[in-house]
Chains A and B, each alone.
Chain A
Amino acid sequence: MALGDQDSGGEARARVGVRKAYKMFVGGAFVRSESGRYTQVRDHSGAGAVENIPRASRKDGRDAVLAAAGALGGWSARAAYNRGQILYRLAEMLEARRAELAASLERGGLDAGAAEREVVSAIDRAVAYAGWADKYQSLFSSLNPVSGPHFTFTVPEPMGVVVIAAPPRPALLGLAGALLPVITAGNTCVVLASEADPRTALVFGEALATSDLPGGVVNLLTGQLAEVLPHLAAHMEVAALDLHGVDAALAKRLEEAAAASVKRVRARSLGEAEWFDDGAATSPRWIERFVEMKTIWHPVGP
């Protein structure tokens, strides 16, 4: 009897499911932690099931900063309009993954309605920032009145590499809402995903990978904020920290570590409802937090 013959005609063999190995997104590639470590995250949709999520080490943080620094020149030099196109493409890719993102949020503990609402909000946020990409410059720039034969202009420029601590909840909308204004401004970023639901961030990374966003512009790490963030706060290549919902003691430590390289430290703790407030959370003021204003003096002609 040939191998496999017993299956033909008989009842169908039970299929073994193909489960995903969750990986972080660094430099445009999906990677495990260099340390080989994992944390187990509960899967709320299966009874008592857990899933393995990479636990980033400080060296993963260093690698991510290297990738972000490498991508900065290319990303910030792109035309603003092109950055907007790419962000809109990200929205398209997120739209195609709506079901997967919602299922991931449900595994993270949300009910179906809340998960769907959060995914839709996150996609809409990408569209909103895609629109802002070539418009915020005009809002922040100015022609300054000076008493002398000079023109002076002030224009916004990207800061550089920004390290973002995403809020614990909402895991997806908080992540998207935090990183979109940063990259819209031409910065590149290293994002530490929510510890409460890191899985969804990695699904989001799969949308980033197919969105024409150059590798290294967004680098997603999962792990323990208190372990990785202090090293990134002291990293001389990092220009700014964006801390969401980080507890006061850790935030203080980070701010102290950031002092040696005079980083911009932006910290705030928004309530969940505030993340869903489209009007407030898509304000260009969110972009303004991650630009440096450059003033140029130019002599008036004879």
Chain B
Amino acid sequence: MATFGNGSGATPGAVGQGRGITYPDFSSPTVDKVMVEERAAGLGKRSIKGPAKIAGLKLAISMMDLTTLEGKDSPGKVQQLCQKALRPHERADIPPCAAVCVYPKLVPVAKRAVEGSTVKVASVATAFPSGLSTLEVKLADVRQAVELGADEIDMVIDRGAMLAGEYRAVYDEIAATKEACGHAHLKVILETGELGSYDRVRKASRIAILAGADFIKTSTGKVTPAATPPVTLVMLEAIRDHAHATGRRIGMKPAGGIRTAKQALHYLVMVKETLGDAWLTSDLFRFGASTLLNDVLMQLEKERTGAYQGGDYFSKD
């Protein structure tokens, strides 16, 4: 069993030895590129209309991590974002978002703004977005974010180590970060756009899950391509197989590049078809997005009024 972290994700049985630590088996099935792309595309072809569409869009809002991760972020901008997360629209039937996602320095601002609500504060940490600082710096980054009040930590893995095949190093870092998180939930960003193949995405998903991730997340949003349906499907399948083997439910967060209501529904269809209804909750599925919310709101208003909406009528966040 792993000696780092809480060990809750480690699979008993298959093990490897190294540096005095016992590691779980990282081996994972290979991914059929053609079929996974076909299936992901096929799941996007469903026509979802009327009440199902409205329900799906509201669910998508309740799963959204409203995100601002720019160098120019200011307390004012974050406050505005939090207001939008608390009350995305004047309509009472539209739920609040799941969380706001900000840089560590802005966590206290966000925390004050969402106090007393269901909206969580997530913070990126571990030298986001590159993840190329020393482990001590990264762990200090995490501890500080948690001390400042972050409910959730979005960490990045060391893609260089992942690509070099140093799986144990990747595992150790995630496990150490999990330990540093304490009560905060840990989302592990794989940055799939830099991993290069579905096989590596699948393997990274497994390593993250075994090391104690509560959520696995596709991307930082700083690299193109970010979240794509096939990559998300590969990660969902890793979550599914882990749930079958151990009964433990890991969450999924596609982030970056999801801009339209139609895309959001596509992702929800993939989740339902791969993991089932149990995952259709903000505890186990999130969208990392900033511009998606307005498009979803515009679609909801279109359903209510019958008229196509214009950007001028929705707050810019």
> Which residue on A lies nearest to B313, using beta carbons?
A236
Whether A231 sits at the interface, judged by CB under 8 Å, is yes
CA distance A257 to B307 in the complex (A): 9
> Which residue on B lies nearest to A260, using beta carbons?
B307
Residue of B309, B310, B311, B312 with most chain A CB atoms under a 10 A cut-off: B310
Q: Which residues of B contact A234 (CB under 8 A)?
A: 306-308
B311 and A235 within 8 A (CB): no
Number of B residues contacting the other chain (C-beta, 8 Å)?
9
Least distance between A120 CB and chain B CB atoms (Å): 39
Q: Which residues of B contact A65 (CB under 8 A)?
A: 308
> Which residue on B lies nearest to A58, using beta carbons?
B308
CA distance A257 to B312 in the complex (A): 18
B306 and A237 within 8 A (CB): no
0/1 string, B276-317, CB within 8 A of A gives 1: 000000000000000000000000000001111111110000
Contact of B310 among A231, A236, A257 (CB under 8 A): A236
Q: Which residues of B contact A261 (CB under 8 A)?
A: 307, 310
CA distance A122 to B213 in the complex (A): 66
Least distance between A104 CB and chain B CB atoms (Å): 32
Q: Which residues of A contact B305 (CB under 8 A)?
A: 260
Contact residues of A: prevailing secondary structure:
helix
Q: Which residues of B contact A238 (CB under 8 A)?
A: 310
Whether A241 sits at the interface, judged by CB under 8 Å, is no
Least distance between A227 CB and chain B CB atoms (Å): 15
Whether A202 sits at the interface, judged by CB under 8 Å, is no
Least distance between B311 CB and chain A CB atoms (Å): 7
A69 and B311 within 8 A (CB): yes
Least distance between A291 CB and chain B CB atoms (Å): 18
Q: Which residues of A contact B306 (CB under 8 A)?
A: 234
CA distance A136 to B310 in the complex (A): 29
CA distance A62 to B309 in the complex (A): 10
Q: Which residues of B contact A62 (CB under 8 A)?
A: 308
Least distance between B119 CB and chain A CB atoms (Å): 28
CA distance A76 to B308 in the complex (A): 23
CA distance A235 to B306 in the complex (A): 9
Q: Which residues of A contact B307 (CB under 8 A)?
A: 231, 234-236, 257, 260-261
Top 8 nearest A-B pairs (CB, nearest first) are A237-B310, A236-B310, A234-B307, A235-B308, A236-B309, A62-B308, A236-B313, A236-B307
Q: Could you list which residues of chain B lie within 8 angstroms of chain A, going by C-beta atoms?
A: 305-313
Q: With A231-B308, A236-B308, A237-B312 given, name 14 new contacts (CB 8 A).
A: A62-B308, A69-B310, A234-B306, A234-B308, A235-B307, A235-B310, A236-B307, A236-B312, A237-B309, A237-B311, A238-B310, A257-B307, A260-B307, A261-B310
